[in-house]
């Protein structure tokens, strides 16, 4: 997919995925082995609503995970969903989570929000 987008000259690439039962926000790099390489787009990964019970905000190996993935802008293993809105100049993703799906009536909160702007491929906190 990435090679096809690059060869077609796609600008403002956004990829939406899921099925890993955690939420991520990534910058998509031209060369993932070089953190300073050009950012080609963004990837938004939504968490699950209930799979894995309550989940954990961060994994036990958090520091190792971040060191291996410098293009990662956000991670959250709690349950919830993601909303994305698109404007002419900006797209915005809001990651919404609950502290526990095993507790009826648990309040939902915005764990993080990011924007990506036309002409600037990286994610920025909103």
What are the pLDDT tens digits along the chain (126 aa)? 889 998 999 988 999 998 899 999 999 999 999 989 999 999 999 999 888 889 889 988 988 988 899 999 999 999 999 999 999 999 999 999 999 999 999 999 999 999 999 999 899 999
Q: Which two tokens stand for residue 3?
A: 């090679």
- Global pTM reads 0.91
Separation between Cα atoms, residue 88 and residue 119, nearest integer Å: 11
Q: Which two tokens stand for residue 27?
A: 């910058």
C-beta separation of 42 from 15 below 8 A: yes
Separation between Cα atoms, residue 27 and residue 44, nearest integer Å: 9
Q: Report the number of distinct structural domains present in the chain.
A: 1
Output the CA–CA distances (angstroms, integers) from residue 40 to 46, 86, 94, 125, in the order listed.
Answer: 20, 18, 21, 18
Which residue range forms the structural domain that includes residue 111? 2-125
């Amino acid at each position: 997919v990435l090679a096809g987008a690059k060869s077609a000259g796609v600008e403002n690439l956004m990829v939406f995925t899921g099925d890993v039962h955690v939420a991520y926000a990534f910058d998509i790099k031209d060369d993932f082995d070089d953190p300073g390489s050009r950012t080609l787009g963004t990837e938004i990964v939504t968490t699950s609503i209930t799979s894995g019970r309550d989940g954990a905000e961060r994994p036990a190996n958090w520091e190792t995970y971040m060191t291996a993935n410098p293009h990662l802008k956000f991670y959250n293993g709690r349950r919830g969903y993601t909303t994305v809105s698109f404007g002419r100049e900006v797209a915005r993703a809001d990651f919404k989570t609950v502290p526990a799906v095993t507790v009826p009536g648990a309040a939902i909160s915005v764990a993080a929000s990011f924007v990506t702007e036309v002409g600037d491929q990286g994610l920025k906190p909103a």
